[in-house]
Copies of this chain bind each other. A is one copy, B any other.
Amino acid sequence: MSTMTKLPMSELSQRTAFFLSDRTGITVEMLGHSLLSQFENVAFEEITLPYLNTREKAVAVVGQINERASMGQSRPLVFSTFVNPEIRLVLDSANALHLDCFSIFIAPMEIELGIRSSHTVGLSHRVENPIDHRQRIEAIRYTLEHDDGISQKNWRQADITLIGVSRTGKTPTCLYLALQYGIHAANYPLVPEDFDRATLPAQLRNVHSKLFGFTIDPLRLHRMRNERKPDSKYASIKNCQYEVREAEMLMRREGIPYLDATSKSIEELATAVMHEAKLERKIY
C-alpha cells in the first residue's frame, strides 16, 4: 500500500539523457532538464558534458553514447547547443535521438531575418562583455556588503531593498538578483525592535520607494527556524506567528508591496521581484 501518486520506481521506464555543448552547457542543461520534467513516468539519468570543442572529444562522446545505447533497452536522448556545425555532425552519427537546440531554431530565424547567422558562417559565440562583467562583480560586492542590514552606508545606491522577518529567503534572492541581473540588492531583516518602534528604521525611510517585502506562512517559518535553532524562542510557533503578523501590519501601514515567499524557489522569488518592482536587468 502506498499513498504516493507517482508510479513506483520499478514501473518507471529508464532512459539516459545527455546535455552536450562546445561551451559551458548551461543553456542546454536548463532547457533539456525542463523538457525532461514534462515526462514524469520516465526516470532519466542526466549527464552534462560541456566544452566539447574538438572533433576528438566529440568522437569519444559518440562512443560513450553508443555504449549506453547497447547497455540499455533504448537509445539515449541527446540535447545539444553546438556553435560549431562540424561537432554537431559528429554527434548526429551517435545511436541516439539528437536534438540540437541551435540548428532547430536557427533555420526559421534565418528565413525570417533574411540573413545567415554567425553560427552558419562559422563565427564563434560572443563572450561576456567586460562592462557587463564589471557591473556584475560590482553588484555582487554591493549585495554582500548590504546583506542582512550589515552596512549602514550607501543604502540609496540599492536598486531594491528586500525586507521581511529572518528566514524568508531575502539573502539568496538578493544574491540571485546580483548574479543574474546585475541588480544592487540590499536586504534588511525586520526584528521585534522594528515592530515596537512606530516608524521604519532611519536607513529604510530614505529609500521607501525601493522597498519590497517578503512574508511567509508562520508554520513553515517555524519549521525552518527550528532546523537551525531547535526549541528556541526565536523558532517557536508563537513567536513566528507574532513576527509575521507584525511584519505584515508594518508593510501594509507603510504601503510597501510584498509577496508570500512560502514554497517558492529562489528563481521564482527573484523573477517575481523583478516583475512586480518593475526592475530592469542591468546585464545579459
Contacts and interface: CB of A to CB of B under 8 A. Distances in A.
Interface of A: 13, 15, 23-27, 30-31, 33-35, 37-42, 46, 50-51, 77, 81, 83, 97, 99, 101-102, 104-106, 108-109, 112-113, 115, 117-119, 123, 125-128, 130, 133-134, 136-137, 140, 144, 147, 169, 171-172, 175-176, 179, 227, 263, 265-268, 271-272, 275, 284
B266 A136 contact: yes
Contacts of A25: 271
B38 A127 contact: no
> Interface residues of A: mostly helix, strand, loop or mixed?
helix
A35 B104 CA distance: 10
A39 B119 CA distance: 8
A37 to B, nearest CB: 5
A23 B37 CA distance: 14
Given A50-B271, A104-B105, 15 more contacts: A13-B115, A23-B268, A26-B267, A26-B271, A35-B105, A35-B109, A38-B109, A38-B118, A38-B125, A39-B117, A97-B108, A99-B109, A137-B172, A144-B147, A175-B175
A161 B198 CA distance: 46
A81 B33 contact: no
A34 B81 contact: yes
A185 B99 CA distance: 33
Nearest to A271: B24
Nearest to A79: B105
B34 A119 contact: no
A27 B38 contact: no
A35 B271 contact: no
A94 to B, nearest CB: 14
24 contacts: A13-B113, A13-B115, A15-B113, A23-B268, A25-B271, A30-B30, A31-B101, A34-B81, A34-B102, A35-B105, A37-B125, A38-B106, A38-B109, A38-B118, A40-B118, A46-B284, A97-B108, A127-B263, A128-B265, A128-B267, A130-B263, A136-B172, A137-B169, A144-B171
A109 B266 CA distance: 29
Contacts of A31: 27, 30-31, 101, 105
Contacts of A275: 50-51
B42 A115 contact: yes
A117 B38 contact: yes
B30 A265 contact: no
A81 B41 CA distance: 21
